[in-house]
Amino acid sequence: MSTTQTETETYVHYHDGGVPGRRRVLTGKAAKPTFSAVPKIDFRRIYSDKLEDRQELAKEVGAACRDVGFFYAVNHGVDEAVLEDTFEAVKKYFDLPTEVKMETHNQKTEKFRGYEAFLEGKLDPSTRGDLKEGFLMGEDFTDPEQLALLSPASLPTSLTSAPRNQWPSHPSALFFRPAIYRYYTSMFHFSKRLLHIFALGLGLPETHFDAITTHPMTNVRAVHYPPQHSDADVGIGAHTDFCWFTLVCQSRTAYPALEVLNGNGIWIPVQPQPASFVVNVADFLKLVTGGTWQSTVHRVRNMGGEERYSMPFFFSPNEDARVGVVEHLRKGDKKYEDIGVGEYFQKRLDIDRTTHLDGDGKEGERKRPRY
């Protein structure tokens, strides 16, 4: 159960960095000022060559990051045809026979890349598992599609030696890799620009975070959520993301399935909006802002009776970078420690891994995967 009640108080439960958290539900006089909707921001200005336009955009983005941690990016400039084609490819992939998908079962890799079957994820321990199937790919500097996006001189050899991704090899699934890489490439370019807007929004030079994002950790997760029929189920349990930020393209279901938690413990629906994606602040932006920006808790419940697909793109700093709170956001003589990006990421991944079911889908002993 993700909501509990004592005699006088109700709490919403979630996982933040693997640590169970809870928020009291505040209503009536006890309610605090918080958001009740996700703002929409017009991103046309991200492409302007006038700094004042980009600064104006950054001001709106900064306010949304502080007050909500989520916003819609409209007029983002990413080719709609690429997004539509990727959704088609993702649907076709999930329609493939289970044996074809299981060829790349994520438990065969250290970084959890490849196919994740229904109920294997379990972000909310009080549920029977996440009612979704997914496919995860990410930074892998042996995939030539990615090398084209980076400056090879910036790549430490330790990161180029071993493959991390798994791609299906069955003839019926060969369409999937090029489709995902078209999407990946578009989202990668947009994310680099967006990182500049975030820096401006913090009163920093646009390129402030570039030096620690030359060969970023990245992920695309393609996800299929079947309709859920019980309120006790969840598509993905309440959590925060562990990257700089996430871009979510979601299919157009009539019923809003993605929900974000506001300061009063109320779930706010994120209704799909045409030609937009949803952006959310994640843990590394929260860390570098000393918590001034929120890595907002969210979850998916697909209650509307339709199949739902989404394609979150996660964008992180370099694995071998260290991040700390930016100078002007440090408070008084409080001590701040830098955090190793790769270590933090791996810690979160390991927590996710140990909360995943064993490969045969049985509840019970949660062992480490067989590689």
Q: How buried is residue 352: exposed, middle or buried, by Cβ count under 10 Å (0-12/13-18/19+)?
A: middle
Distance between CA atoms of residues 317 and 189, nearest Å: 15
Name the residue nearer to ligand AKG (CB basis): 114 or 196.
114
Distance between CA atoms of residues 196 and 204, nearest Å: 9
Closest listed residue to residue 115, CA positions, set 125, 102, 124:
102
The binder of 310, among ligand AKG, Fe ion, none, by C-beta within 5 to 8 A per type, is: ligand AKG
Report in angstroms how near the CB of residue 5 gets to ligand AKG at its nearest: 26
Q: List the helix and strand counts (H, then E) for the chain.
A: 7, 18
Assign residue 361 a region (left: φ > 0; alpha: ψ between -120 and 50; beta: otherwise). left
Name the residue nearer to ligand AKG (CB basis): 168 or 235.
235
Report in angstroms how near the CB of residue 228 gets to Fe ion at its nearest: 17
The single-letter DSSP state of residue 151 is -
Name the residue nearer to Fe ion (CB basis): 208 or 239.
239
Is residue 130 involved in binding Fe ion (CB under 5 A)? Answer: no
Report in angstroms how near the CB of residue 236 gets to ligand AKG at its nearest: 5
Is residue 241 involved in binding ligand AKG (CB under 6 A)? Answer: yes
Report in angstroms how near the CB of residue 22 gets to ligand AKG at its nearest: 19
Is residue 259 involved in binding Fe ion (CB under 5 A)? Answer: no
- For residues 187-226, which are near ligand AKG according to CB under 6 A? 221, 223
Report in angstroms how near the CB of residue 353 gets to Fe ion at its nearest: 16
Distance between CA atoms of residues 186 and 205, nearest Å: 24
Query: Strand pairing partners for 323?
Result: 339
Phi and psi at residue 57, to the nearest 5°: -60, -45
**Residue 197: how many other CB atoms lie within 10 Å:** 23
Instruction: State the residue number with the nearest CB to Fe ion.
Output: 241
The binder of 265, among ligand AKG, Fe ion, none, by C-beta within 5 to 8 A per type, is: none
Closest listed residue to residue 216, CA positions, set 236, 239, 187:
187
User: What is the per-residue binding string for ligand AKG in 284-323, x denoting contact by CB under 6 A?
Assistant: --------------x-x---------x-x-----------
Is residue 58 involved in binding ligand AKG (CB under 6 A)? Answer: no
User: What is the per-residue binding string for Fe ion in 223-242, x denoting contact by CB under 5 A?
Assistant: ------------------x-
The binder of 223, among Fe ion, ligand AKG, none, by C-beta within 5 to 8 A per type, is: ligand AKG
Closest listed residue to residue 124, CA positions, set 18, 25, 255, 227:
18
Distance between CA atoms of residues 185 and 174, nearest Å: 18
The binder of 250, among Fe ion, ligand AKG, none, by C-beta within 5 to 8 A per type, is: ligand AKG
The binder of 258, among Fe ion, ligand AKG, none, by C-beta within 5 to 8 A per type, is: ligand AKG
Name the residue nearer to Fe ion (CB basis): 120 or 143.
120
Is residue 124 involved in binding Fe ion (CB under 5 A)? Answer: no
Residue with tokens 């990727």: 86
Question: Which residues, 6 or more positions from 195, have their beta carbon under 8 angstroms from its beta carbon?
Answer: 209, 210, 213, 244, 315
Is residue 283 involved in binding Fe ion (CB under 5 A)? Answer: no
Assign residue 290 a region (left: φ > 0; alpha: ψ between -120 and 50; beta: otherwise). left
CB 197 within 8 A of CB 247: no
Which one of 220, 243, 248, 266 is in contact with ligand AKG (CB under 6 A)? 248
Q: What residue ranges bind Fe ion (CB under 5 A)?
A: 241
Site residues for ligand AKG per CB under 6 A: 221, 223, 236, 241, 248, 250, 258, 298, 300, 310, 312
